[in-house]
Amino acid sequence: MADDSTPGVLRRYAGGVGRNIAENLSRLGCETSLVSAIGDDLFGRQVLNDLQQIGVDVSYVALRQNGSTASYTAVHDCDGELLHAISDMRLFDEFQLSVESGVVPQEMLEIIDAADAVVLDANLPESALTDIVGHCQSTMLYADGVSRSKCTRLSGVLDSLSLLKVNRAEAIALTGVEIADDEDLFDALRKLGPEQVLLTSGDDGVVLVTDGEVYRTEALPGIDVVSTSGAGDAMLSGVIAAALAGLSVELQLQCGMRTAAETLGVYSACSDKLSREFILQ
């Protein structure tokens, strides 16, 4: 009830879209670096230590002395579906990716420029997203819309993206119109500039639109859903890892579905069972 306490079970796990994708990609066999900011507190240092343990380079994560590590609190129903969520990302509000800001050194910008792929998420402010894209020359550039309220931060960089990943609510927020017909929605998203659009629809599966072609993959049957948190991040991670391995669009989608299905079966936002084998299946 809204005016009373509700019995439940509380669990705490490391999360965040960018962090989740970094962990997933590392587990999928990709050499991965995380560029972000984190509070210089107990939780922040634990997040960094855990990422280092699985091989993620955290050299360019800025420790904020007077900031608290960002947090996301999700409330799920008995079927694992998200009911409510509170996102406290104030730490990123002043995040600037530039040498002049003193946040990151020149070497990190060079790493971004030389990377095979760069993944953005809309938790960052628009100015930081613009700075990052400005340092990506011939890089595959992916972006996650994160949420309906934040996805519009990507508006200024959409025409630079190799792939935009959104759900239907985020897609409608970006296009500015309620579009019932899938084909019209895909056209509206492509007109915004990204080369490819990955649209996730929960039980209805996933659609990837590229070069005028529409590829659809239905949700895998028989999945025992524990929590939906992190499933979309896992989906994008699988697609990226398969693309970096040179696999076809169809196989990219299949890999994404497998990684998402594995993540749906755990309480945490990432599954420690992900491995290179998910790409090679």
SS3 76: strand
Q: Do residues 23 and 53 touch, judged by C-beta distance below 8 A?
A: no
CATH number at residue 175: 3.40.1190.20
Does residue 212 form part of some domain? Answer: yes
Whole-structure pTM value: 0.89
Nearest to 115 by CA among 85, 136, 89: 136
pLDDT recorded at residue 101: 56
Residue numbers of the domain that contains 78: 17-86+160-280
Decide if 171 is inside a domain: yes
Q: Residue 99: its pLDDT value, please?
A: 45
The answer to whether 162 and 194 have CB atoms below 8 angstroms apart is yes
Residue 129 lies in a domain: no
What are the structure tokens assigned to 278, written together?
Answer: 């998910």
DSSP 232-277: HHHHHHHHHHHHHTT--HHHHHHHHHHHHHHHHTSSSSS-TT--TH
- What pLDDT does residue 180 have? 64
Predicted confidence at residue 255, as pLDDT, reads 95
Q: How far apart are CA 157 and CA 148, in angstroms?
A: 17
C-alpha span between 164 and 236 (Å, rounded): 10
Indicate whether 191 belongs to any domain. Answer: yes
- By the 8 A CB rule, do 52 and 23 touch? no
- Does the residue 40 lie in any domain? yes
With the C-alpha atoms ordered 46, 142, 174, 97, is the resulting torsion angle positive or negative? positive
Count CB atoms within 10 A of the CB of residue 134: 15
Q: What residues in the chain have per-residue pLDDT under 50?
A: 98-99
Domain contains 232: yes
At 274, the amino acid letter reads: L
Q: Report the 10 Å Cβ neighbour count for 1.
A: 5
Q: Is residue 109 part of a domain?
A: no
Show the beta-strand stretches assigned E in the chain.
Answer: 36-39, 61-64, 71-76, 82-88, 117-121, 140-144, 163-167, 196-200, 206-210, 213-217
Q: How many domains does the chain have?
A: 1
**How confident is the model at residue 157, as a pLDDT?**
95
The residue with tokens 């990226």 is 240
pLDDT of residue 203: 72
DSSP state of 143: E
In a domain, 126, yes or no: no
